[in-house]
Amino acid sequence: MKRTSILYITILLLVLFSGCLAIWVYYLKEGKDLLNFTISIVGFCIALLALFIAVRTYTSIDSVNNISKMDGNILDNERYVTSLPELISQYKSKNEKDLDEELFESIELKLKIDSNTAVLFADTLQYLVDLIVLFPAVFNAVETDKKRYKKRMDRILKNIDRQRDILQSISKGNSIQITETIKLFKAVVSYQSFVANGNFNIHADLLHVRGPILRNPVTKTIYHNYLGLYYNKKGMHLLKESLSMEIRDILSIDGLDFVRSNIDSCSPSVIEEVIMYLKSACEQFDRALEISSEDVMWPGFINYNKARTLYFMNLLSESKESWVGVMDDAVKSRSRLNRLIDEVLTVNQAGKACVTDTHLRQFFLYQEELARVMKLNLMLSDGGNKSKTSPIVYRGSNIENVKKEELIKLFVNVDSFPLVMSYQEKVVETLAIDGNLSS
């Protein structure tokens, strides 16, 4: 039984005892002044009633404070980092369907039982933000039911809004971090959904987030990274629209060659606007890199995004910053991350070390391979300069000097994510056409 309930019962018993005592004295009439005694008893009951009201007010205020206080909440922690090894150990599903179910169940459970106070709700929101990087492992996989994913995600977003409204109805106190983190999470989910559907005309949800208010390094990193991606996609959408590329993949070798061949047909005003978006994107990526300098995961994603942006900056302007070095940093970061993941998933079986293969492991291997192959795409589409500045290297081998069969063996296949395989096939085809591969 709660402490407040015990207190209320005690007060009620005292009131009943006082009433019984008054009646008993009334019938005794043993030399007592009945009027004075009655007045005393009434005064005593009024005092008890006042005590009851005071206790109830105190407990109500205390309850509100406990629910709404944000002291020590994780969203204000300026040293917080995401524990990717912990997430890798927690989610060991073998395929995207099981991972989908496992992720959503854990989110729904935390929203249901671990979000009753502002501090707990802040912990839940941080947990959701930490999982942002894992969502593409589900909806970018080949066998994911995207309609079901979207329906379930929409239900989670409604539950988040409902819990926020409950807390704000009690006290609006220190809710700014919660409000802005929710806006950030919803904006990123919206962005990921648009990109997964091949839509580059991104909504401006991220612009509604008051980024400077965010204190947590992870939320700040995600804000600047995805704001950079927003500017990048706005620039790419404008460029594709100007060149009438429609659904053609602008980052494929064919798409990149098409851009190079037709870039002169774009009006100077369009080029100026695209460059403005790309510069803004690079500024946001630089901020994200500065904030995430001690993180093991995010630099790999941010440098990959910045390298693609710099490629188009070099193509459209006099920018001298090399995209190659930035992409190399992305590859190195993702490679180190995959070695860490293998360490986390290594188990001893019969005295032999074995790596447990999971869908998340495959996803991060795909991310590394995507960065490696994207570098080949960008180098092979570099017109007459494709091999003049530096050799075209893949996993330590100059692929211009290897046979076709050897190159195919060098490539890492990730069956659950077919995009990288299509890029690999086009690389082989392009090198064969240019005469750089022997059969």
Q: In the chain, what percentage of residues exceed pLDDT 70? A: 79
* Contact in structure between 170 and 65 (CB atoms under 8 Å): no
Band (pLDDT 50/70/90 cuts) for residue 198 is: low
Mean pLDDT of the 139-145 span: 70
Q: Is the pLDDT of residue 62 over 80?
A: no
The C-alpha angle with vertex 355 and arms to 352 and 357, in degrees rounded to 5, equals: 145
The model's pLDDT over 359-385, given as tens digits with 9 standing for 90+, comes to: 999 999 999 999 999 999 999 986 545
Q: Is the pLDDT of residue 66 over 80?
A: no
Band (pLDDT 50/70/90 cuts) for residue 353 is: confident
Mean pLDDT of the 248-270 span: 92
Closest CA to 181 of 145, 146, 220, 155: 220
The model's pLDDT over 200-218, given as tens digits with 9 standing for 90+, comes to: 667 788 899 999 999 899 9
Closest CA to 270 of 251, 250, 242, 312: 242
Coil, strand or helix at 357: coil
The model's pLDDT over 5-46, given as tens digits with 9 standing for 90+, comes to: 666 677 677 767 766 766 666 666 554 565 666 666 677 667
Coil, strand or helix at 298: helix
Coil, strand or helix at 144: coil
Which residues are CB-neighbours of 421 under 8 A, at least 6 positions away?
413, 414, 415
Gyration radius from the chain CA atoms = 31
Which residues are CB-neighbours of 147 under 8 A, at least 6 positions away?
none
* Contact in structure between 34 and 26 (CB atoms under 8 Å): yes
Q: Is the pLDDT of residue 177 over 60?
A: yes
Mean pLDDT of the 47-66 span: 61
The C-alpha angle with vertex 87 and arms to 394 and 281, in degrees rounded to 5, equals: 55
* Contact in structure between 243 and 277 (CB atoms under 8 Å): no
Residue 114, pLDDT score: 80
* Contact in structure between 215 and 76 (CB atoms under 8 Å): yes
* Contact in structure between 374 and 304 (CB atoms under 8 Å): yes
Q: Is the pLDDT of residue 271 over 80?
A: yes
Contacts from 321-329 at CB under 8 Å and sequence distance 24+?
323/378, 324/375, 324/379, 324/389, 324/390, 327/303, 327/371, 327/374, 327/375, 327/378, 328/375, 329/299, 329/303
The model's pLDDT over 380-438, given as tens digits with 9 standing for 90+, comes to: 986 545 445 578 888 888 887 778 888 888 898 888 888 899 999 999 988 876 655 55
DSSP 63-89: HHHHHH--TT-GGG-TT----HHHHHH
In the Cβ-directed half-sphere of 232, how many Cα atoms lie within 13 Å?
26
> Can you tell me which residue has the tokens 């403005």?
276
* Contact in structure between 144 and 93 (CB atoms under 8 Å): no
- Cα torsion through 254, 257, 258, 262, rounded to 10: 180
- The predicted model scores a pTM of 0.82
Q: How far apart are CA 163 and CA 181, in angstroms?
A: 13
CA 86 to chain CA centroid, Å, is 16
Band (pLDDT 50/70/90 cuts) for residue 141 is: low
> Distance between terminal CA atoms of the chain?
80
Hey, where are the domains in the chain? 3-68, 216-386
Residue 386, pLDDT score: 46
Structural tokens at position 131: 């999982």
C-alpha distances in Å from residue 117, one per residue of 168, 180, 374: 11, 17, 45
Mean pLDDT of the 114-124 span: 84
**Amino acid symbol at 276:** M
**Amino acid symbol at 426:** K
The model's pLDDT over 276-321, given as tens digits with 9 standing for 90+, comes to: 999 999 999 999 999 998 899 999 999 999 999 999 999 998 888 8
Q: In the chain, what percentage of residues exceed pLDDT 90? A: 43
For residue 254, count other CB atoms closer than 10 A to its CB: 14
Residue 345, pLDDT score: 93
